[in-house]
Amino acid sequence: MNVKEAKRSSRICFLLALLLILQCIFITLSAAGEAETLTVGSKGDRVTEVKQRLQKLGYLEQGSITKKYNDKTAQAIREFQRLNGLPETGDVDAETAERLFSDQAIRKPRPTLEPLMTPAPIMETGWPERDSEGFLMGDGEYFSEDDEAGQWVYLNRNLQIFIRRGKESSIPLEWFETEILTRDGETFRTAITDPEHPGKKFRYPYDISRDERFVLGFSDDFYATRMAGKETVGIIIREGRIISETTNSRTGHHLPNLDMMAQYPDGRFEVYECTEYTAQQLLEKGAVNVFSFGPILLRDGEINELLYTYYRSIEPRHALGMIEPNHYLLLSVQGRNKDSKGTMLQRVAEMMKERGVTQALNLDGGNTMALIFRGRMLNKLATYKRRNFVRTVTSLIGIGYTEQQAE
């Protein structure tokens, strides 16, 4: 190596050393910045992250997030510190930040409602022979109907449907709990009155269910009304076909907020916020049907925090949930009549969680809600604007096939 090359090599080494020193200084300053205590008046992305975490744990109401640390933020932090055994300073120091973002962070207790009595168990008197999983042995089908007791049953070799009516006279409230078990490819399917023009040709839901020969039919996300009103429809997929791919720019607390439930061929249902996936991405994931109404009620067994602040009105409600793949619960709450006022979505979510549901979405309730067993609608007509009626629809969810429709 000559003198010139030696000098060049020395300069390169010096520059590399200087770069390393500057990098160490930058890392040290960044770490110091991250450890800086947040207090009233602080601003920036760290404040946003803290407030988002507080919302997730229930210490701040759901809503828009700003980058400013204000008195409301400090109050929420004090409550978090109190419930987590930390000094109640109202500031986010290193110890508070570590606990806040850890798996050990204690969430704020939710204001749960008093549980309702579960409906009476279904009597199995006179049932045909069933296998170890409860399905009918051999071919054929079995059904029973007891309107007075509020119990309806359907069995075949791959499908079990149990419907029980619940009552709470003190509210008053009436509801239907429909438990559905499937195997060997038996699955939900959808009906559209006019496949060439989705959202057209409105018909009564019980007529659609009869024509399709559904054992169980029920109303869905009623996307047709949003199409007709030229509103944002939400991501709608039916039997692998995209009907709509326009949705809200973000999830919110309006109704419907267009959160989604996707149905997969292996019996899974998964719920997503409205912006999590595009319609094409859901098809690529394998979704067969996607229903868009919302909000999400349960995700991975956890109740949506929005329900403790919003959706408090008393209405007829309708929600579909999955306990585990091939095991589902449909909850249909009657309302707007003298025997049943209806309920808030928090109640629906808590009822479903008590019964083991892990994923659940709110479907269109009100006068859209319809529960149809063997072609006969079980729920009473709801009253709206002095009229007793059920809405006509253009689509339906159903399961099973039977020629034995009710008279």
Residue 33 is inside which H or E element, if any? helix 3-34
Residues in the chain, pLDDT under 70: 1-35
User: What are the phi and psi torsion angles at 306 (to 5°)?
Assistant: -55, -30
Domain ranges of the chain: 45-100, 142-399
* Positive or negative: CA dihedral 49, 50, 51, 54: positive
pLDDT computed for residue 3 by the predictor: 54
pLDDT of the residue at 31: 46
The residue ranges of DSSP E strands in 183-326, in sequence order, are: 189-192, 216-218, 234-238, 241-246, 259-263, 269-272, 289-293, 296-299, 302-303, 317-324
Comparing CA positions, the residue from 324, 325, 316, 379 lying closest to residue 356 is 324
Per-residue pLDDT at 20: 61
Q: Is 181 left (phi over 0), alpha (psi -120 to 50) or beta?
A: beta
Amino acid letter for position 66: T
Predicted confidence at residue 12, as pLDDT, reads 60
CB 303 within 8 A of CB 203: no
What pLDDT shows up at residue 349?
A: 98
Question: What is the sign, positive or negative, of the torsion defined by CA atoms of 373, 379, 381, 385?
Answer: negative
**Residue 164 vs residues 103, 122, 167, 176, 177: alpha-carbon distances, Å:** 39, 7, 10, 6, 5
